[in-house]
Structure 1
Amino acid sequence: MTRRRRRISAGGAAGRTVVAALVAWGTLAGAALAGAAPAGAAQEAVTLAPGVTYQEFDIRATAGTAHAHVVTVDLDDPRVRVGLLHPGAVAARAPVSRMADARGAVAGVNGDFFNITETQHPGVEATGASVGPAVARGRVLKAAVPNGQRFGPPLPPGTTTEDVLGVGVDRRARLDRLALDGSVRTPGGRLPLGGLNQYALPVDSIGAFTTAWGSASRVRATCGTDMDRAAPCSTDTYEVTVRHGRVVSAAGTPGSGPIAQGTTVLVGREAGARQLRKIDAGEPVSVRHRLVAAASRIPYRFAVGGYPVLTGGRPLPGLDGRTSAVRTAVGVADGGRRLLLLALDGAPAYRSGLTIAEVADVMRRSGAVDAFSLDGGGSTTLVTREPGAATVSVRNHPSGGAERAVPNGIGVFSPS
């Protein structure tokens, strides 16, 4: 098959940065984009598997030409599903290609922003854990860190670390917000739960760590504050290990190492630490936790963190229209029946990328009603598996020259 690229022009104003020339991608998204004036014919879409296609094209943006790689997913096709790619632990990282091959995905992109460095806290190791909530195969893996503890660019006004892109048991994609609801029942009473498998806990709170966390140190969870990620680590901490409903050990500082099935490690800081010190060895303790959706009562089979850039067909107010970069984003079209996975190319010729405002406009003009920004820069990766191939191939050029290990991603599954 001959592949041909199309160029898509963009103007300078944030509201019209990308002209209505996304005909090829728009057709895949079910959008009719009138007034298109393509500079050349689009590369023909490649069918990867039933309900899954891949395409690439150029975009003329304010900072130069960007090159987009797009996977379109038809969730109306009963053979297609979308799920969370992850390396088996919250506090772990792996390249998207490795996670996709391990799960047999036909396509995938990188996911949420994550705890990538710890230069502000000497002696404390970065956990690699993601910022926002994560749900895999209907199982809650983690909750969101406080807004001030996130890694990545500033959040647009009105968004939080609890924002997610998810697919429910109804096979419809949507944007939502998932908040932690949990408690610790002790002989002295019920205590609120402030975190679940998070690299950062709210000040004065208690967080729960389960086998899903992995073996990374839990010290990072007690560093920084709700408003300042770089603030010093707390000097008032305590850790309690609960196994099969009873306290089996305690420590003055958070530990590390794998957490066995049937075991929950509770980490407290400040007021939370003082509450945990009141619990004696052998006492019964039970921990309850769930993620509560703000917009939907339909349970999620999959959810990943990031932040919205387009809702109800309108770009969010206050989106950055100045800083161009390599980006990863997801568009939701056709009432949640279609997903558009976009990753920009990080090759030197295209590395100027798009602004967040331009990403929102590209998604809107493609037919997406909602769109969600994921981690970008060196993390941006899109992989596909050609029909008959045993493994996936990285379709974009990662801006760091090689795939970056990331904590999670979005996987697309369909019989090839």
Structure 2
Amino acid sequence: MRSISWVRHSVARGIATLLLAGCASGAHRSDPQAAVQATAQALGPGVEWWQYRDARGPWRIAVVKVDLTQQAVQLRAVHGRDSLTGRERPSSLAARLNSDALPVRVAINADFFDLRTGRTENNQVTDGEWWVGRMVSDSPFDSYDNVHSQLAVAHDGRASIARYVLDARAWGRGGVIPVLGVNHAPSGTFEGTVLYTPRMGGRTPRDSAVRDSVPPRRVAEIPLRAVGSRGDTIVYVATTAPVTSAGTPIPADGAVLSASGDRVPSLQQWREGDTVRVWLGTQPALRDARPPAQLIGGWPRILEGGVNVATEAPSREGTISRNAEARHPRSAVGLSRDGRTMWLLAVDGRSDSSVGMTLVELADAMRALGAWDALNFDGGGSTSLVIDGRLVNSPSDPTGERAVGNALLVLQRR
């Protein structure tokens, strides 16, 4: 597939005009209308968007460009209904979280999710708080278990894409315990340690895999109350001695550390009143060596170092052909080489006016915009792009905009 080249022209008042030229995969005709002109509209300092149609797909595409060096710009990963099991339309999310001081300029659907429960498949960090931390993506569609690529935003605003896994540990009496999950316990593991926060709900889950194992796998849980922080380390105090069953109430001002299998003896050394320190980060670490400010998932990475890697997605991230190689509505995020410019792209599909893209076509479209790295978000009926509270694309579901698991917001301080 040959790249699409963009020629950018300056016009009065800084409004950019973009001319799409060249030939794209799937173009079966030479059409004089194939060159499509679109005018970018400024939403505020550092944020602009435009729409265009390309007869060669045919495609109907909307693009947002964000300058992440602008101090007024803020990215935020948000979950539907502020709940791990909630689903909400991106337009509703944008309206609910909009404020006069910090307007929501853009909202786009993000991670893949369970249609029944709304739980997303990958990690999520919002404003530095870990909502979900995993070692392996929780997807029923992977051709093999692996870690999906995700978008991370550092505290300085710089963004990056990598296959991030939870890198966490807890320090208490007797030494260090690795933490292998936040609000998520992988099923069928021999041993493990999970931190449950109030985002999980009122109690820790009663793990049937632990209860029904033969012989029954041991469990120990200890409630913790947060008392402060030291840098990026959360400091807790144990409110009781460890209990030997699941279903422990989660303190509203703290968490519960739950151990199973051979991790239980380490946790059982702890006592009421003990100080416990917990650090939650990622592997690989971000450039500033701090935990991310925002982290949100997708599947798979489609650009790496300026190279279209979509054809490698089946072996890299276990994508399946009916997703990767078929044309569908698509949502995606792209980053410049320095991680300081971001593009959000929504392609309509499943209609005569816009057929959708394969992942290879999507990667080439992102590269044409100037992206160096790019990640595919959930697509199909989930693809939704909201600008200043208005849905600007045409979702393919017969009922219109779909309620999704989470979304990425672009906010802008006034």
List aligned pairs for 1:386-405, cutoff 5 A: 392-400=389-397, 401-405=399-403
Instruction: Tell me the distance in 1 between the aligned counterparts of 2:380 and 2:41.
Output: 26
Q: For the Cα contact (< 8 Å) 1:81–1:414, is it kept in 2?
A: yes
Q: For the Cα contact (< 8 Å) 1:115–1:199, is it kept in 2?
A: no
Give the corresponding residue for 1:12: none
Q: For the Cα contact (< 8 Å) 2:20–2:36, is it kept in 1?
A: no
Give the corresponding residue for 1:286: 276
Taking only the aligned residue pairs, the percentage that are identical comes to: 26
Name the amino acid aligned to 2:50. Q
Give the corresponding residue for 1:210: 197
Give the corresponding residue for 2:82: 88
Change (3 A) 1:116 1:58: same
Name the amino acid aligned to 2:287. R
Q: For the Cα contact (< 8 Å) 1:115–1:129, is it kept in 2?
A: yes
Instruction: Tell me the distance in 1 between the aligned counterparts of 2:205 and 2:33.
Output: 53
Instruction: Tell me the distance in 2 between the aligned counterparts of 1:108 and 1:377.
Output: 17
Deviations 1:337-396 (A, max 9, x none): 2211112225633574211111111111221111011112222211011xxxxxx01222
Give the corresponding residue for 1:180: 166
**Alignment partner of 2:338: what SS?**
helix
Name the amino acid aligned to 2:362. V
Range that drifts further, 392-401 or 263-272: 263-272
**Alignment partner of 1:318: what SS?**
helix
Give the corresponding residue for 2:231: none
Q: CA deviation at 1:165?
A: 1.3
Change (3 A) 1:154 1:66: farther
Structure 2: gaps of 5 or more residues: 24-31, 99-103, 226-237, 314-320
Q: CA deviation at 1:222?
A: 6.5
Give the corresponding residue for 2:295: 303
**Alignment partner of 1:106: what SS?**
strand
Change (3 A) 1:349 1:270: farther
Instruction: Tell me the distance in 1 between the aligned counterparts of 2:130 and 2:369.
Output: 32
Tell me which of 323, 343, 348 is aligned to 2:351. Answer: 348
Q: CA deviation at 1:242?
A: 0.9
Range that drifts further, 284-293 or 101-110: 284-293
Q: For the Cα contact (< 8 Å) 1:240–1:276, is it kept in 2?
A: no
Instruction: Tell me the distance in 1 between the aligned counterparts of 2:110 and 2:49.
Output: 18
Structure 2 length-normalised TM: 0.74
Aligned-pair Cα RMSD in Å: 3.9
Q: For the Cα contact (< 8 Å) 1:240–1:266, is it kept in 2?
A: yes
Instruction: Tell me the distance in 2 between the aligned counterparts of 1:35 and 1:66.
Output: 15
Instruction: Tell me the distance in 1 between the aligned counterparts of 2:35 and 2:124.
Output: 41
Instruction: Tell me the distance in 2 between the aligned counterparts of 1:238 and 1:267.
Output: 7
Instruction: Tell me the distance in 2 between the aligned counterparts of 1:275 and 1:293.
Output: 27
Q: CA deviation at 1:78?
A: 3.0
Instruction: Tell me the distance in 1 between the aligned counterparts of 2:78 and 2:331.
Output: 15
Give the corresponding residue for 1:121: none
Name the amino acid aligned to 1:357. V
Change (3 A) 1:192 1:65: same
Tell me which of 131, 154, 161 is aligned to 2:121. Answer: 131
Give the corresponding residue for 1:6: none
Change (3 A) 1:35 1:223: same
Q: For the Cα contact (< 8 Å) 1:347–1:397, is it kept in 2?
A: no
Name the amino acid aligned to 1:114. F
Tell me which of 232, 236, 253 is aligned to 1:262. Answer: 253
Name the amino acid aligned to 2:371. A
Give the corresponding residue for 2:58: 65
Say whether residues 1:170 and 2:168 are aligned partners: no
Count of matched residue positions in the alignment of Structure 1 and Structure 2: 368
Change (3 A) 1:170 1:263: closer
Q: CA deviation at 1:183?
A: 3.1
List aligned pairs for 1:4-403, cutoff 5 A: 15-16=1-2, 20=4, 22-23=6-7, 35=22, 39-59=34-54, 65-86=58-79, 87-104=81-98, 105-117=104-116, 126=117, 128-147=118-137, 149-151=138-140, 160-161=147-148, 163-185=149-171, 187=173, 190-198=176-184, 200=186, 203=189, 204-215=191-202, 218-219=205-206, 236=217, 238=219, 240-244=221-225, 245-247=238-240, 250=243, 252-254=245-247, 259-272=250-263, 274-275=264-265, 278=268, 282=272, 284=274, 286=276, 288-294=278-284, 296-298=286-288, 299=290, 300-306=292-298, 307-316=300-309, 317-319=311-313, 322-333=325-336, 335-346=338-349, 348-349=351-352, 352-385=355-388, 392-400=389-397, 401-403=399-401
Name the amino acid aligned to 1:289. W
Instruction: Tell me the distance in 1 between the aligned counterparts of 2:201 and 2:277.
Output: 18
Q: For the Cα contact (< 8 Å) 2:173–2:270, is it kept in 1?
A: no
Instruction: Tell me the distance in 2 between the aligned counterparts of 1:233 and 1:115.
Output: 30
Name the amino acid aligned to 2:383. T
Instruction: Tell me the distance in 2 between the aligned counterparts of 1:325 and 1:378.
Output: 9
**Alignment partner of 2:84: what SS?**
coil
Q: CA deviation at 1:208?
A: 1.0
Instruction: Tell me the distance in 1 between the aligned counterparts of 2:36 and 2:214.
Output: 56
Q: For the Cα contact (< 8 Å) 1:210–1:265, is it kept in 2?
A: yes
Deviations 1:170-225 (A, max 9, x none): 32222234332333456565432211122646712121111233458735x7669x
Name the amino acid aligned to 1:90. L
Instruction: Tell me the distance in 2 between the aligned counterparts of 1:66 and 1:165.
Output: 26
Q: For the Cα contact (< 8 Å) 1:113–1:152, is it kept in 2?
A: no
Structure 1 length-normalised TM: 0.74
